[in-house]
Amino acid sequence: MEKMRTPRNHSQSFLESVASSEKDGYSSTQSSHRLLAYSDALISIIATVMILPVAHTKFQDNEELKQSIQALLTTKVAVYLMTFLIVTVAWAAHIRLFQVIERIDDTLALLNLACMMLITFLPYTFSLMATFPNNTLGILLFCACVMVIGLIQALIVLYGFSHPFLLNDQIQMSENQAYDKRRILEVIMRVPIMCLFASVFSIIFIQVSYIILAIVIFLPYISQCLKWIRSKAIGGQVEDSPDSVPFYTYHPSEPLSKERVESFSDGVYAIVATLLILDICEDNVPDPSVVKKEFDNNLIAALQEYGPEYLAYFGSFATVGLLWFVHHSLFLHVTKATRLMGLFNTFSLAFVGGLPLAYQLTHEFPRGSRNELEAVQISCVIIFFAGLFQLAMWVTALFTERETLHPYVRYGGREHAFMLAKLSLYPCVALGTFVFTCVLSRFSTSIFHMMEIGVPFAFLVLRLLVRVALVLLRWLFCPARNDLDSVPVEEEDSQLPIIDIVT
């Protein structure tokens, strides 16, 4: 930010210098780091918040869970997942925008805040749409929000291009800046224009507007998917535009700011880990008068009623915390995030968001009931998928490992086996627990609790376990080469020089 300031302000008066800094605008240029961190925090909170209406649905004990779950699945869970998707689409657009605009000033900061205000309002308009699908008001409000967000983004781009020192260095150096500007504006304005059509159609024929909205969200991905499949099937012939910027392409390998993926994920993990304590703090402090009357002033007896909820809290905090830990370990080894990895990350986070709900369900039903068994199984399924999509990120990264991974975790690298063990621990444990609860359905809760307690310790001794497993593997498959350690050196040697270059 400093390098932009010209030295011509020397020997001007204080008042003059304030005025001149207003004219050239350089001194107010700022790094956008903290603005983006704050935006990520806001968006991650909003994305996960729609799990609350689902979590606060009260189940009657005599009712079978299956029916409640079906009622949930049809409306609230669908709303939660769709909101999560829409908010992350808005977040992806925000990342694209601020990969183009790398420095900010006060005007951009204020415009961004206005944009954030409308993004945080999206979940509400969306839940209106879901509750009243045949009413035009929901869709009109939603479209209005999206259109204003698009206009603000266009305004930010125009402002950025009229103050070129705010732009990404690559674009700043680019010779066809005007072309870049037009292309970016076209991509950005596509969404508000489609929404304008959708809102016009909503008055005439509401189904059409829903189709338009679906197209708005999914079309770039579908078209890219088709293009990618076609290029793979026909072979080669990748259209490369070396002079244009790598943003706004919707290509699966389009770079995604790794820092922002991390801070968005941190926000989701943090709010999900604390969701249950919010409820506990609000609801689980008994009324003094009740304790006096019903429990004869015995606070411990009164609190024992809430026992399972504390267990649910610690269980969900530990699981979310450890999933964060795995994510953290994974991203330590990632050097560059791509859009496809971002997509898997979003899926993983969407499942993580459902975890507190699942844990709460586990402890809400009477012991040994059919409901409880199903709640335990749902928890296992959620943990399984949350972990599986983390693994998918790792596999995606391995496909382009030369670009996306640190050398020492690449296939055959030093930390490869350990990372794999970390990533596969939760999916394996969840799958195992699921199978056990199917077989030994009477002990399902005990098995689940054992898993909750056991997994953190498994992580603590994981390094040891991996070492033992590797020794066992070596002993099983190549017992003859037990003293011939130098055999796989060729494979290793091709990797190691790169480490030295990087470090």
Rank residues 73 and 472 by Cβ distance to a copy of itself and give the closer one.
472
Nearest to 52 by CA among 356, 312, 409, 304: 356
Q: Contact at 8 Å (CB) between 284 and 309?
A: yes
Reduced to 3 states (helix: H, G, I; strand: E, B; else coil), residue 103 is strand
Least distance between a copy of itself and beta carbon 464 (Å): 8
Rank residues 381 and 498 by Cβ distance to a copy of itself and give the closer one.
498
C-beta neighbour count of 34 within 10 angstroms = 11
Least distance between a copy of itself and beta carbon 314 (Å): 7
Rank residues 194 and 425 by Cβ distance to a copy of itself and give the closer one.
425
Residue 31, H or E segment: strand 30-31
What count of Cα atoms within 13 Å lies in the side-chain half-sphere of residue 133? 7
Q: Which two tokens stand for residue 14?
A: 């204080």
Least distance between a copy of itself and beta carbon 417 (Å): 6
Rank residues 184 and 386 by Cβ distance to a copy of itself and give the closer one.
386
Rank residues 238 and 300 by Cβ distance to a copy of itself and give the closer one.
300
Nearest to 379 by CA among 436, 430, 313: 430
Rank residues 234 and 464 by Cβ distance to a copy of itself and give the closer one.
464
Rank residues 288 and 454 by Cβ distance to a copy of itself and give the closer one.
288
Least distance between a copy of itself and beta carbon 120 (Å): 5
Q: Which two tokens stand for residue 368?
A: 């040994």
Rank residues 126 and 247 by Cβ distance to a copy of itself and give the closer one.
126
Q: How far apart are CA 320 and CA 236, in angstroms?
A: 42
Rank residues 119 and 194 by Cβ distance to a copy of itself and give the closer one.
119
Least distance between a copy of itself and beta carbon 179 (Å): 31
Least distance between a copy of itself and beta carbon 191 (Å): 22
Q: Which residues pair with 223 in a beta bridge?
A: none
Q: Compute CA 493 distance to the chain's CA centroid, rounded to the nearest angstrom.
A: 36
Q: How far apart are CA 256 and CA 341, in angstroms?
A: 9
Least distance between a copy of itself and beta carbon 221 (Å): 27
Q: Which two tokens stand for residue 234?
A: 């026909």
Nearest to 450 by CA among 388, 376, 351: 376
Q: How far apart are CA 379 and CA 397, in angstroms?
A: 28
Least distance between a copy of itself and beta carbon 112 (Å): 9
Angle between helices 78-100 and 339-362 (to 10 degrees): 150
Least distance between a copy of itself and beta carbon 250 (Å): 28
Q: Which two tokens stand for residue 372?
A: 């409880």
- Give the DSSP per-residue string, 386-446: HHHHHHHHHHHHHHTHHHHB-GGGSTTSTTHHHHHHHHHHHHHHHHHHHHHHHHSGGGHHH
Residue 389 burial class via C-beta count within 10 angstroms: exposed 0-12, middle 13-18, buried 19 and up: buried
Instruction: Please give the single-letter amino acid code of residue 88.
Output: T
Least distance between a copy of itself and beta carbon 31 (Å): 8
| Residue showing tokens 């606070």 | 299
Q: Contact at 8 Å (CB) between 210 and 172?
A: no
Q: How far apart are CA 419 and CA 24, in angstroms?
A: 50
Rank residues 204 and 464 by Cβ distance to a copy of itself and give the closer one.
464
Rank residues 91 and 247 by Cβ distance to a copy of itself and give the closer one.
91
Least distance between a copy of itself and beta carbon 19 (Å): 6
